Structures are given as structure tokens and as C-alpha cells.
A and B are shown apart, each in its own frame.
Chain A
Amino acid sequence: MGAWAIAVHGGAGVDPNLPKERQEEAKRLLTHCLDIGISALRSNLPAIDVVELVVRELETDPLFNSGRGSALTDNGTVEMEASIMDGPKRRCGAVSGLSTVKNPVSLARLVMDKSPHSYLAFSGAEDFAKKQGVELVDNEYFITEDNVGMLKLAKEANSILFDYRIPTIGTCGAGAAAMESPLQMNGLPISVYAPETVGCVVVDKEGRCAAATSTGGLVNKMTGRIGDSPLIGSGTYACDLCGVSCTGEGEAIIRSTLAREVGAVMEYKGLNLPEAVDFVIKNRLDEGKAGLIAVSKNGEVACGFNTTGMFRGCATEDGFMEVGVW
């Protein structure tokens, strides 16, 4: 009781051939973000502020698929989305279709705190951003060489790339089994570069839970496509009992309302956090591939995934800390 805990993720589903340097790079970033979160918690910042702070850091770094470094749409542009939720009163905010807002998670926070609504998208969200005076940049700021390359290859293969998947031709959900990817970039399979969603969940010393998720979405997605990250109950959820952030196949996460599921199973079935996470990953995903991080009001932290790997890190007040990929 009364102990804080924090977890971060940089996406579920990692190519087993991911070069060591990329793994180390990811772990360094995750560790850095955990440290930022831990300092904030030690300074008694409330959970809702901590998740925003940490996700901003993940958005700003181009390594993962959010903010700078976001995956590109089929038009070669960036359309970012994010959501944030505050456990105590289940207040929430979400945004989609952002192309000039430097930190989508902060705009989601402003939607929650400063607008009469819960979710704003596209030009309406951009207008709100201007009025709120948040930092805006040109769309080019977000675009990295890696992502331009990935889009080109994805178009050549006429496929849509998921957060982590080895590219499949046509619709999602097909070919869940790992196969040799025919697409290469700089001599490595393209999936190595497949970008991932980011997220953070926190419970502070007062037992308040919060969660936030941010992403650029799928490489080569249709303009206007919205995934699970901004959808409350799917990619993000927080209530009195827990805070959850998910990553992986967006459509599978939406169908299974994955984030809410963890809370529902705790609330209605009386499971504790690790049991709830385990239950949900085992029973709710069917053929879908996804992962999640979660904290409970009791200071527990748990991660679960049915993908090959998930970039993640977690820490608790008693000194436990772990960063992992597999």
C-alpha cells in the first residue's frame, strides 16, 4: 500500500533478427524514460502528470513510432494519435489525425482538462492546438529517413505494416506465423524497422493510477485510419483499480477492448493484476497479436504479450527495475 510503480513500452512484436545495437538503443531509451518517471514520482508528481511527461519523452525521441519517428500514411504524411486517462474519476482525453502537434499526448491532456469534450480529431484537433498555444511544427519534422524507406518498400510490396509484423500482403490478421520477409532495407529485414506505439502506466504513492498511449499508427495506412491507441477502453484505460496501455495489432485490441478488459476482470472477477493480465492475454486475443503494460492501485506492475517480444521497462518503489525486449 502506498507504493508507486511505473511501466513503459515501445511496442509489442519484435523481429527475432533485430540487431543487437537496435535492441540496446531501445533499452537505453526505455531506461532513460523510466528514470524520468521515477524522479517525477519521487518528487510526488501525481500519476497523471508522470504518464504525460514520460510519453512526451518517448514521442520526442525518433526511435519509436510516435511523435517524431511516426509511421507514414499511404500519402507519405504523418497522422498521429494519443490518449490519456486519469484513474480516480476516469477522466480522459484523446486526439487523432494530428500532423503538426509536436506532442500529441499533451494535446490529449488538454482535451481532457480544457475542452468540454473527450476526443478531438483532424482539423478540429489542430485548431484546438493552435488556440491552446501548444508547440506546432511542420509535418516534415516528424518524418525520418527510416520511415520514408519503410513506406516505399511497403508500397512496393503493396502491403500494410503493423507495429512489428513481418509484412503480409493484403489484409491484417493473415499469416500470423513468422516467415522470412522478402523485403529488405539496408540489408536487414524491413520488420526490423517496423515502428512501435509507445505508452506509460503509473500508480503514485496515493494509489492513483493513470495511463497514456501515443502512436503514428500503421505504415502505409489509409489516410483517416484510426487505431486502438486513442480509443478509451481499447488502447488505454485507467480506473480506481488499474492503469493499462496496449500495443500491437490495433484491430485486435479494439475488438477485444483489451485495456478495459484488464480492469473489468479485476473488478468483476476479483482477479489481482498479474492474474488479470495473464487471463486477458491468453483468452481475449484469439488470432490477434498484442501486448500491454499495467499497474494496480496496490503498487503492482505487470506486462503481458503474445507476440515475440515487447520493448518494455518497469520499476517499483522498493527498488525493482527491469528493462527487456524478449
Chain B
Amino acid sequence: MGWAIAVHGGAGDIPLSLPPEKRLPREAGLRRCLDVGIAALKAHNHPLDVVELVVRELENNPHFNAGKGSVLTTSGTVEMEACIMDGKTMKCGAVSGVSTVVNAISLARLVMDKTPHIYLAFDGAEAFAREQGLETVEMSHFITPENIERLKQAQEADRVQLDYTQPIPKEVPKEAAVADGDSQTGTVGCVAVDSEGSLATATSTGGIVNKMVGRIGDTPIIGAGTYANHLCAISATGRGEAIIRGTIARDVAAVMEFKGLSLKEAAAYVIDQVPRGNAGLIAVSSTGEVTMPFNTTGMFRACATEDGYSEIAIWDSPTK
């Protein structure tokens, strides 16, 4: 037992040929956020505060698809969503359709702490943010030139882009993605457990490039992209539709509980059930274990445990 933490910056068909100017800033971002999380855990902050803090950092980093740097809707706008859950109390908060709130994850936290509800969206979420005095900015704050370019490419190809994918020859019906050499950025997330076994998870995203206005993905759906209970905390990333229908985050905990599998086995099992190329997740257990399986080409990820282990990686599928 001991604390453990994992962060991710998205799973997908990240090309092995990813140029350094695209790879290095993300690795550096992951390293930095991991360090922020480790310091917070060492200072005995509650995991809920730790995951919120780390995801805020990831949202503020323009190299990831959350907060600043969010991918754009088909109208060229930003619609962010986020979700947070406390494993011990099972309290949770989620927001969607947020366009001016600097840190969507903090808004999700406020929904959890300050309302009798779990999920607020669009105008209602924005109004609540203002009532709560959260920092809001012009939507242009979140929009980066890279994402304007991605949207342009996607619209020219008239296809919907995902976290990361390379062109697939056959017809792909749902949230089919297209990729070029530039790895599209993915969702971000953080899971943490302290030495008392308290667990928490947080996920945040801008969604998928060229998404329909009003489209909601897996991130804010409890049990799909985000989930925590007394056994484990999970944050998932990849193709939203596959994650929703696979109730991925919930299933990891269910498999641990009902089949008695370890965290690592349960996570690998659940990822294996998802069609290849669709999903990845990070998870920690109440006993301080951590696992980061994915069935895509890569997943930007990092983790650390109290006994001194730490890792930052992009490729090398650990599902075996």
C-alpha cells in the first residue's frame, strides 16, 4: 500500500514517426503534471483535490485536447466537457458544452459539491459557472492554430477525426476517424489513490475534431469514460462511442469485484473486449497498484507509485 497516480493525454493511432516537435512538448507536459500530482500526494492532499489540480494543469496546456488546445466543433467553436468522481463517497460531477470556463474540471467539481445534481450542460452550466465566480474568458482563448488547421483538414476530408487515427480503408460507421501524420490530441485524465486507499478520478476533453455542435462523448458519462468506487479509479480515452457502449470505466471495477481479478487483469480484460484501436485507460486500485492498458497504437501516459516507480510513455502496448 502507498499512494499511486497516473495521468494520460489521450489514446489513439499515434504514429511512431511522430516528429519531436510534437512529441517532446507532450512528454514534458505529462512529466510536469505527474510531478505536480506527486507533490500534492506527498503533501497529503485528498486524491479528489490531486486529480482536479493535475487535470487543471493538463487543461491549461495547449498541447492536449482539453481546455486550451481543445479540438473544434464543425462550427469552429469549442465545447468542452469534464467529469470528476470520488471513490469513497461515490459523489460525482460532470459538465458538457462549456465554452468560456477556463477549467471545466473545476466546474464539474462545483456541480458535485455545490448542487443537488450531478450533471449540468450548455447554457445552464455556463450560467452556474458565473454564479460560482469561476474564471471565464472569451472562447478564442481556447482555440489554437493547430486545431483550426485540424478542423480544416477534417472538413476537407469530410470526415470526423478522433483522438488519433490513421486512414482506415473500409467503411467505419461511428465516429470514424481519419488521421494524417499529425497526431490529433486526445482527452486528458488523472487517477489517484492515497496511502489510506481513498480514490479519485478526473477526465476532461474538447471532444472530437469536427464534431456536431451538441455532441456529448464518453468523458462526462459516469461509468463510461470516468468512474471510481472503493476498489479503483479509472479514466478512459479513445473512441467515445465504443467507450460508452462498453461502459468501460464501470466494467473494470465490476470485473474486479465479481470475477475477483486484480486491477491489472481486470483492466486488460476490459480493454480486450473493445475492438482494437478504440480505447485505453489509466487506473489505480485502493491498494496502490496502477495500470495503463490500451489497444490503440499508443497512449500518452505517465504514472508513479510511492515506492519510487515512475514511467512516462507513448507506445509499447502493455496489454500483454
A254 and B222 in contact (CB under 8 A), knowing A96-B121, A123-B122, A222-B117?
A: yes
Question: Can you add 20 more A-B contacts, CB < 8 Å, to A231-B221, A231-B222, A268-B259?
Answer: A116-B173, A116-B176, A118-B174, A118-B241, A118-B245, A119-B216, A121-B121, A121-B122, A122-B123, A124-B213, A127-B213, A223-B123, A224-B128, A225-B124, A226-B121, A227-B119, A231-B223, A237-B247, A254-B118, A254-B119
Tell me the nearest residue of chain B to A90, going by C-beta: B245
A121 and B214 in contact (CB under 8 A), knowing A160-B116, A222-B124, A260-B247?
A: yes
CB proximity of A12 to chain B, nearest CB, Å: 18
Please classify the interface of chain A as helix (H, G, I), strand (E, B), loop, or mixed, using the class held by over half of its residues.
Answer: mixed
Query: Among the listed A96, A120, A268, which residue makes an inter-chain contact with B258, where contact means beta carbons less than 8 Å apart?
Result: A268
Query: Among the listed A90, A121, A172, A256, which residue makes an inter-chain contact with B97, where contact means beta carbons less than 8 Å apart?
Result: A121
Contact with A along B74-106 (1 / 0, CB 8 A): 000000000000000011101011000000000
Interface presence of A251 (CB below 8 A): yes
Chain A residues within an 8 Å CB radius of B116: 160, 170-173, 251
Interface presence of B254 (CB below 8 A): yes
Q: Are B96 and A121 in contact (CB under 8 A)?
A: yes
Q: Are A233 and B247 in contact (CB under 8 A)?
A: yes
The total of Cβ contacts below 8 Å across the A-B interface reads 158
Q: Are B214 and A120 in contact (CB under 8 A)?
A: yes
Q: Are B115 and A222 in contact (CB under 8 A)?
A: yes
Q: Are A264 and B214 in contact (CB under 8 A)?
A: no
Query: Among the listed B97, B173, B257, which residue makes an inter-chain contact with A122, where contact means beta carbons less than 8 Å apart?
Result: B97
Q: Are B258 and A123 in contact (CB under 8 A)?
A: no
Interface presence of A155 (CB below 8 A): no
Distance in angstroms between the alpha carbons of A150 and B120 in the assembled complex: 22
Interface presence of A321 (CB below 8 A): no
Query: Among the listed B176, B250, B259, which residue makes an inter-chain contact with A233, where contact means beta carbons less than 8 Å apart?
Result: B250
Q: Are B240 and A224 in contact (CB under 8 A)?
A: no
Distance in angstroms between the alpha carbons of A90 and B273 in the assembled complex: 13
Tell me the nearest residue of chain A to B260, going by C-beta: A268
Chain A residues within an 8 Å CB radius of B241: 117-118
Contact with B along A92-116 (1 / 0, CB 8 A): 1010110000000000000000011
A264 and B121 in contact (CB under 8 A), knowing A233-B221, A233-B223, A254-B222?
A: no
Distance in angstroms between the alpha carbons of A114 and B258 in the assembled complex: 36
Q: Are A117 and B175 in contact (CB under 8 A)?
A: yes
Tell me the nearest residue of chain B to A122, going by C-beta: B122
Query: Among the listed B117, B120, B227, B240, which residue makes an inter-chain contact with A118, where contact means beta carbons less than 8 Å apart?
Result: B240
A127 and B214 in contact (CB under 8 A), knowing A224-B124, A225-B117?
A: yes
The number of residues on chain B lying at the interface, defined by a beta carbon within 8 Å of a beta carbon of chain A, is 49
Chain B residues within an 8 Å CB radius of A254: 92, 118-119, 222
The B98-148 residues at the A interface (CB cut-off 8 A) are: 115-125, 127-128
Q: Are A257 and B247 in contact (CB under 8 A)?
A: yes
Interface residue ranges, A against B (CB under 8 Å): 85, 90-92, 94, 96-97, 115-125, 127-128, 160, 170-173, 221-227, 231-234, 237, 250-251, 254-257, 260-261, 264-265, 268-269
Chain A residues within an 8 Å CB radius of B254: 260-261, 264, 268
Distance in angstroms between the alpha carbons of A172 and B91 in the assembled complex: 13
Query: Among the listed A123, A231, A264, A269, which residue makes an inter-chain contact with B251, where contact means beta carbons less than 8 Å apart?
Result: A264
Chain B residues within an 8 Å CB radius of A85: 245
Chain A residues within an 8 Å CB radius of B18: none
A97 and B176 in contact (CB under 8 A), knowing A117-B241, A160-B116, A269-B258?
A: no
Distance in angstroms between the alpha carbons of A119 and B97 in the assembled complex: 12
Tell me the nearest residue of chain A to B255, going by C-beta: A268
Some 26 contacts from A to B, beta carbons below 8 A apart, are A90-B246, A92-B244, A96-B121, A97-B122, A116-B176, A117-B211, A118-B245, A119-B215, A119-B244, A120-B215, A121-B216, A122-B122, A125-B214, A222-B128, A225-B119, A231-B222, A232-B221, A232-B247, A233-B222, A254-B119, A255-B90, A257-B227, A257-B250, A264-B258, A268-B257, A268-B258
Distance in angstroms between the alpha carbons of A233 and B255 in the assembled complex: 15
Interface presence of B284 (CB below 8 A): no
Chain B residues within an 8 Å CB radius of A117: 174-175, 211-212, 215-217, 240-241
Chain B residues within an 8 Å CB radius of A124: 212-215
Distance in angstroms between the alpha carbons of A256 and B247 in the assembled complex: 13
CB proximity of A254 to chain B, nearest CB, Å: 5
Distance in angstroms between the alpha carbons of A67 and B250 in the assembled complex: 30
Query: Among the listed B115, B128, B250, which residue makes an inter-chain contact with A264, where contact means beta carbons less than 8 Å apart?
Result: B250
Chain B residues within an 8 Å CB radius of A127: 213-214
Distance in angstroms between the alpha carbons of A90 and B242 in the assembled complex: 9
Chain A residues within an 8 Å CB radius of B250: 233, 257, 260, 264
Distance in angstroms between the alpha carbons of A226 and B227 in the assembled complex: 17
Chain B residues within an 8 Å CB radius of A121: 96-97, 121-122, 214, 216
Chain B residues within an 8 Å CB radius of A115: 212
Chain A residues within an 8 Å CB radius of B223: 231, 233-234, 257, 260
The B243-288 residues at the A interface (CB cut-off 8 A) are: 244-247, 250-251, 254-255, 257-259
Distance in angstroms between the alpha carbons of A227 and B117 in the assembled complex: 8
Contact with A along B19-40 (1 / 0, CB 8 A): 0000000000000000000000
A224 and B123 in contact (CB under 8 A), knowing A119-B216, A233-B224?
A: yes
Query: Among the listed A96, A97, A128, A257, which residue makes an inter-chain contact with B222, where contact means beta carbons less than 8 Å apart?
Result: A257
Interface presence of B7 (CB below 8 A): no
- Rank and list the top 8 A-B pairs by shortest CB-CB distance, nearest first: A224-B124, A124-B214, A268-B258, A124-B213, A257-B223, A223-B124, A171-B116, A90-B245
CB proximity of B129 to chain A, nearest CB, Å: 11
Q: Are B213 and A123 in contact (CB under 8 A)?
A: yes
Tell me the nearest residue of chain B to A269, going by C-beta: B258
